[in-house]
Structure 1
Amino acid sequence: MSDFKPRHFAIIPAAGSGSRMASERPKQYLELLGQPLIRHALAVFCESPLIDKVFVVLSVGDTEWNRHDWRGLGSKLVPLFCGGPSRADSVLNGLRAISDQVAHSDWVLVHDAARPCLAGWHLERLVHELQHHEVGGLLAVPVADTLKRDNGHGEVDMTVSREHLWQAQTPQMFRYIMLRRALERARTVTDESSAIEAAGLHPRLVQGDATNLKVTYPLDLHLAEWIMQHRNG
């Protein structure tokens, strides 16, 4: 019997510009509670004993990263200046860059740089529920609102049943080689689960909660601040 125990690596793609935030500074560097937004996301992984190393994938021309002091996050954190034009490109470039550091069966957890409210218990639940799963999976939340499809003119075309619908979150956790091969074949996906699904596999849905929100619009920064202040208080 093999004694091999798979390790867990985090990849945080952070090469985007965050154009919907109406800010000249890339979204991941906007201030949240006195720190760059991305620092909060990175800290959860760097502090977790479940995670062996944390890779943040930055754009080749990123000039903001080195303006900040990241030493407080410890030795797990490794910047990779190999980001691509899309999320999928950045994740794939990151996977290629770490190929000599990971085994094929090691787990990779991909997390949005703009999800600063990830909590330790979110991470623990994901890893615990997926540790023996053949495919892997993702944090997600069952859709609670009534959904409407528009007709292309700003009017309701129909109401869409929310039964069996989930809102995908991150982290999304898959075996290194499985994720890399899936992304090599599906380059236009918007999340890692979609690439795995395109390969005919079925990721597991691990229930998270609404506090793990993604900062997309300016108001989201205030919501994230409120969540983190009240969680800590």
Structure 2
Amino acid sequence: MKTLPFWAVVPAAGIGSRMRADRPKQYLQLAGRTILEHSLHCLLDHPGLQGLVVSLATDDPYWPDLACSKDSRIQRADGGRERADSVLNALLRLEALGAAAGDWVLVHDAARPNLARSDLDRLLDELADDPVGGLLAVPARDTLKRVGADGRVVETVDRSLIWQAYTPQMFRLGPLRAALAGALAAGATVTDEASAMEWAGQSPRLVEGRSDNLKVTRPEDLQWLAQRWHDQGRD
């Protein structure tokens, strides 16, 4: 299988207040390294990577202490008020580094440290010739309820039509940059790159990935992952 070249973006300017920690969640420790280092590792370890931009808060005091901050393949961009701002800044930095409008860009969450190489390869392989791009996702497993403003159930949603969006999300640089810039200018709510592409009239493709590619959001997520890695001998 031919290795598909790609660029990567990791927005890492968030605070992660739900973790109730003394630092942004991406800098919490997991098996001897920070969550961010683990999240970067799978991308940096792939032979198709052309370069990576990490978006950071301008006053971030933690990044310079990480060994990967000295990696020549990683460039820094300023983080923005929202995720979309941070990703857009990173895309502009990629263009300055020589990335072309038709190049593939993978955007990965800074706090999603358990990305499997098999999922990354599947995403690259299945979307290599796709006209739009897409994202890793997992079908909903639980019964889903839609509720009203009073907190009471309005209906049970058909879960066969619902997927959970994960990362990486993979789109060509030019269309993604235009979609993010347009959505931000219009004041549209975009929570991930796929929603920006949807706002621009595109239909991203879903590629089923592993359910353990979880995003660390709450303390119990980190505890679960630490225990899982311990059981697997990864600590």
Q: TM-score w.r.t. structure 2 length?
A: 0.91
How far, CA to CA, are the matches of 1:168 and 1:175 in structure 2? 18
Gaps of 5+ in 1: none
Q: Which residue matches 1:48?
A: 46
How far apart are residue 224 of structure 1 and its match?
Answer: 1.9
How far apart are residue 154 of structure 1 and its match?
Answer: 3.1
Question: Can you list the C-alpha shifts for 1:29-74, whole angstroms capped at 9, x where unaligned?
Answer: 0111111110001011111112111211111111111122226x84
Asked if residue 61 in structure 1 is aligned to residue 59 in structure 2, the reply is yes
Amino acid at match of 1:156: V
How far apart are residue 147 of structure 1 and its match?
Answer: 0.4
Contact 2:53–2:93 (CA under 8 A) maintained in structure 1: no
How far, CA to CA, are the matches of 2:36 and 2:48 in structure 1? 20
Amino acid at match of 1:225: A
Amino acid at match of 2:123: L
Q: TM-score w.r.t. structure 1 length?
A: 0.92
CA RMSD of aligned residues (A): 1.7
How far apart are residue 197 of structure 1 and its match?
Answer: 0.8
Question: Can you list the C-alpha shifts for 1:61-106, whole angstroms capped at 9, x where unaligned?
Answer: 11111122226x84322232x1001100100011112212201110
Q: Which moved more, 1:62-71 or 1:49-58?
A: 62-71
Gaps of 5+ in 2: none
Question: Can you list the C-alpha shifts for 1:170-215, whole angstroms capped at 9, x where unaligned?
Answer: 0000000010000011123000000111111111100002110010
Give the 4+ runs in structure 1 shifted more than 6 A.
none
How far, CA to CA, are the matches of 1:227 and 1:189 in structure 2? 32
DSSP-derived class of the 2:198 partner: helix
Q: Which moved more, 1:126-135 or 1:53-62?
A: 53-62
Contact 1:6–1:106 (CA under 8 A) maintained in structure 2: no
How far, CA to CA, are the matches of 2:232 and 2:201 in structure 1? 39
How far, CA to CA, are the matches of 2:171 and 2:180 in structure 1? 12
Amino acid at match of 2:80: G
How far apart are residue 119 of structure 1 and its match?
Answer: 1.1
Q: Which moved more, 1:11-20 or 1:217-226?
A: 217-226
- Percent of matched pairs sharing the same residue: 48
Asked if residue 159 in structure 1 is aligned to residue 156 in structure 2, the reply is yes
Aligned length: 227
Contact 1:46–1:74 (CA under 8 A) maintained in structure 2: no
Q: Which residue matches 2:171?
A: 174
How far, CA to CA, are the matches of 2:34 and 2:180 in structure 1? 29
